[in-house]
Amino acid sequence: MNGRLNEKTLRMILAVGIVFLLMTLIQSELLLKILLLLSMVFTGFLLYPYASVRLMAIRKKFFGPLYGYRNLNLSLTGERLTEIADSLQALAEGFRTKADSVLGETDKNRLMEELSDKLCRECSECENCWSNKMQDSYRAVCELLELACRDGGLALEQIPQGMRESCVQAERYVAELNRLLEQEKQNRLLCRQQEESRGIIAEQLTQVAAVVRKSSRVLCGKEEVTELQKQALANFLHAERLQVREIALFFDRESGRELRIVAKTRRGVCARTKVLAEKISALLDIPMLSSEENRNVVGKDYAEYIFYEAPRYHVLTGIARCTRESGECSGDTYSFLRSGRRDAVMILADGMGSGVEAGRDSTMVVELLEQLLAAGFEESSVVKLLNTALMLRSQQVKFTTLDMGIVNLYTGNCEFVKAGAATTFIKRKNWVETITSTSVPLGFLDEVDCETKHKKLYHDDYVIMLSDGALDCIGLQEKEEYLEQMIAGMTERSPQEMAKQIMEGIAASPGYVPKDDITILVTGVFAA
């Protein structure tokens, strides 16, 4: 204690000495007053060596969370995910091979050597054929190989008369050549099957790499907001008697703001996450929601809590459907779902024909699509995987059309994905826009090239998706024009009533004959 007092005394003497020395040197009254004020502050710090610590304590009282919390750094995680995606893609490329279906010059030379080693080397006429008549023999064998490769085999009658008379091994030569060609055919068939299997594995690895890369883009694409906003949030959370260990506030143009905190409550405090979301909304002046993954109440142990900006739009849906006149089960399958918190997805699949079998195929497509979207696969990847599944499911020819619309509830942007699907209509007040497709259905070709189009949707817009049967049953040449005029004239705002009216309008169309199952999906987009 005495040491501290002595130290304070020395500091005071030094400070006072410095002040009086400067005051004697400066004649200006204003400067003297300023110097006196600064000297008093300086003297205070000298007299109280722990004043800075006390100041930090005061600052911590008002900005408590700013001391001890860490920023959640997602960029490093995103970079690591990118590296993993690149590795998966490189592995996928290693599985991609291309087997030649036609014998090349190297293969023909190899067959010629095998035939010569087996038949000609021990033949009594070998010296005569491959020494005295080497050019003629070589030319004759090349012609036989070309003929055999072209026809897939060789008959004894196809050997030139001169060679049949001169070659004592002609009959064995033909038999051995056919055997080698059949063996080569089986080997190439096996290589082809292996190539297809490796191609499937490569495609799956590619799509998994795409999912990982998408996650990386999501993490790296988030923009951190200003430190001032984080300070305000940290102060607010501290005032709510929460102890925050980590905090991050991000902004994404495609999904709005997102707040992530790792926090716990102080002793004796109960904080409901929904109530906390409302208070955060008032603080940021932005509607925020508590994530479904959050606990209902902030616990006494550290845990992560996520709050995200409420979507700008919401959707309402309507459905109307009927089966073919003689059908009991529809071949059409539809689904409405949410993909994460950002996207609303409309799906309509139409199996080939109608009835139970067509319904089974379309149901499989929709269920797989839901699972793949939930797993985070991109739309283009999903379509390729679905096409592969249909191609491998059965040797029978099975086609399924796919019509999908993905609405971003934050921006209103809608992505339409079509594979052999019918025309889609977008109604905006009294104006109607059509989206058509020339792509083939899923399961038609080994590689599918679906069509993707993007449209901006606004409040009170409606998206009408139809199965093929809705157009086929209209007995007019201008089927789409008929539907377009009918939809444009509607004043109904309920998606369900609109779907019902469209079905009634189709049934009342000139020459109406139900040739196929009919399904009508209507999705209305409204501002939240």
**Centroid of chain to Cα 59:** 46
pLDDT at residue 70, rounded to an integer: 44
pLDDT at residue 74, rounded to an integer: 54
* pLDDT of 424 strictly over 50: yes
Write the single-letter amino acid at 285: D
pLDDT at residue 199, rounded to an integer: 67
Residue 136 CB coordination number (10 Å): 13
pLDDT at residue 68, rounded to an integer: 38
* pLDDT of 36 strictly over 70: no
What number is the average pLDDT over the span 155-165?
A: 68
> CA 370, 371, 372, 373: dihedral to nearest 10 degrees?
50
What number is the average pLDDT over the span 368-373?
A: 82
Tokens of 468: 């093929």
List beta partners, residue 345. Answer: 337, 406
What pTM value is reported for the model?
0.63
Rg (CA), the chain: 39
pLDDT at residue 240, rounded to an integer: 86
Tokens of 518: 């009919």
Share of the chain above pLDDT 90, in %: 23
Cα angle value 209/215/217 (rounded, 5°): 100
Question: Is the distance from CB of 36 to CB of 19 less than 8 angstroms?
Answer: yes
pLDDT tens digits, one per residue of 490-510: 988 999 999 999 999 998 888
Question: Is the distance from CB of 375 to CB of 211 less than 8 angstroms?
Answer: yes
* pLDDT of 354 strictly over 50: yes
* pLDDT of 521 strictly over 70: yes
pLDDT at residue 410, rounded to an integer: 94
What number is the average pLDDT over the span 389-397?
A: 63
pLDDT at residue 290, rounded to an integer: 94
pLDDT at residue 238, rounded to an integer: 85
pLDDT tens digits, one per residue of 173-207: 777 777 877 787 777 777 776 666 666 667 666 76
Highest mean pLDDT: which of 143-147, 226-230, 306-310?
306-310
Distance between CA 35 and CA 24 in Å, rounded?
A: 12
pLDDT tens digits, one per residue of 252-290: 778 888 888 888 988 778 889 999 999 999 988 889 999
Confidence at 143, pLDDT banded by 50, 70, 90: confident
Write the single-letter amino acid at 281: S
> Could you give the 3-state DSSP secondary structure of residue 492?
coil
CA distances from 353 to 99, 359, 513 (A): 36, 9, 16
Write down the mean pLDDT value for the chain.
76
What number is the average pLDDT over the span 381-389?
A: 77
Regarding beta strands 70-71 and 242-252, do their DSSP bridges make them parallel or antiparallel, or are they unpaired? parallel
* pLDDT of 79 strictly over 80: no
Residue 235 CB coordination number (10 Å): 16
**Centroid of chain to Cα 100:** 34
pLDDT tens digits, one per residue of 406-417: 999 999 999 999
